[in-house]
Amino acid sequence: MYIEELQLRNYRNYQGLEATFENKVNVILGENAQGKTNVMESIYVLAMAKSHRTSNDKDLIRWEEEYAKIEGRIKKSNGSLPMQLVISKKGKKAKVNHLEQRKLSQYIGNMNVVMFAPEDLNLVKGSPQVRRRFIDMEIGQVSAIYLHDMGQYNKILQQRNHYLKQLQIKKTSDHTMLDILTEQFIQAAAGSL
C-alpha cells in the first residue's frame, strides 16, 4: 500500500498543492519553513483523521479560511482507493471511495501509516503512557473494534474520574453512580484487550 496522489486545499501554509508519489523512495526537498513537514503531517492526518503535532484541528486550517481539505488516492493490492478529509470549525467529514463515513472509526484503518518524528524520542525516553498511546493508535488502524473499544474505555474513564472528583468535593457517601461507572469501566477495559 502506498499513497499515489495527494491534494491539499487550505491546509496550514498551502492554499493548494497537488503531488504524485511512486511506489519507491520519495524525497521531499525544500528550504526551511516552506511546508515539508506540513506535507508529511497531511498524509498522517489523511490516514488518522488527526494530527500528531497538534490536538487543535483549527491549527490545520489555513489562516482566515473556513476549512481545510486533504484528498489522496491510495494504491492497494486490489486497486486504488480515494480518500477525503474535510476539517472545518464545525468538525470533520470523511469520505472513502466517495462515500461519506458517519463515524471516524469507520474511516481510520483504510490507509495505514506509521509516523516517526523527532518528538517520537519520547517513545523511548518518555512515560509508559506515551508508549501505550502509540501502540493503541497503531492497533486502531488495523482493528475498528479495538478503536471503538478504546474510545468507549477513554470516555468512561473520563466520566468516572470526573465523578470521583465530584465525590471528593461534595463529601458524599452515596457511591451508587460510582459503582455503575466502575462496572462499565471494567467491561470497557475487558473489551479493549
Per the DSSP assignment, residues forming a β-bridge with 101 are 94
Single residue among 97, 116, 135 that ends a domain in this structure: 116
- Does 160 lie in the same domain as 90? no
> Residues 70, 40: contact at Cβ < 8 Å?
no
Q: What is the dihedral of CA 138, 142, 145, 151, to 10 degrees?
A: 30
| Beta partners for residue 7, in sequence order | 18, 71
Structure confidence by residue, pLDDT tens digits, 39-74: 999 999 999 999 989 999 999 999 999 999 999 999
Residue 6 has pLDDT above 90, yes or no: yes
Q: What is the predicted pLDDT for the residue at 45?
A: 97
Domain count, the chain: 2
Q: What share of the chain is helix, strand, coil (3-state, %, to 5)?
A: 45, 25, 30
Q: Is the entire prediction scored with pTM above 0.85? A: no
193 band by pLDDT with thresholds 50, 70 and 90? low
Residues 100 and 22 in one domain: yes
Residues above pLDDT 90, as percent of the chain: 65
- Average pLDDT for residues 74-80, to the nearest whole number? 94
Residue ranges at the known binding site: 30-37
59 and 104 fall within a common domain:
yes
| Burial of 14 from C-beta contacts in 10 A (0-12 / 13-18 / 19+) | middle
Q: Where does a domain end: 100, 116, 132? A: 116
Question: Can you give the residue range of the structural domain that contains 8?
Answer: 2-116
pLDDT band of 93, cuts 50, 70, 90: very high
Chain segment 139-192, per-residue pLDDT in tens: 988 888 898 888 899 999 999 999 999 888 887 777 888 899 999 989 888 876
**Per-residue pLDDT at 172:** 76
Q: Output the known binding site for ATP.
A: 30-37
Q: Locate 163 and state its grid cell.
A: 465523578
Ranges assigned E (strand) in 1-136:
2-11, 14-20, 67-76, 79-88, 91-96, 99-101
Whether 93 and 182 share a structural domain: no
C-alpha cell at 133: 498511546
| CATH number (domain holding residue 51) | 3.40.50.300
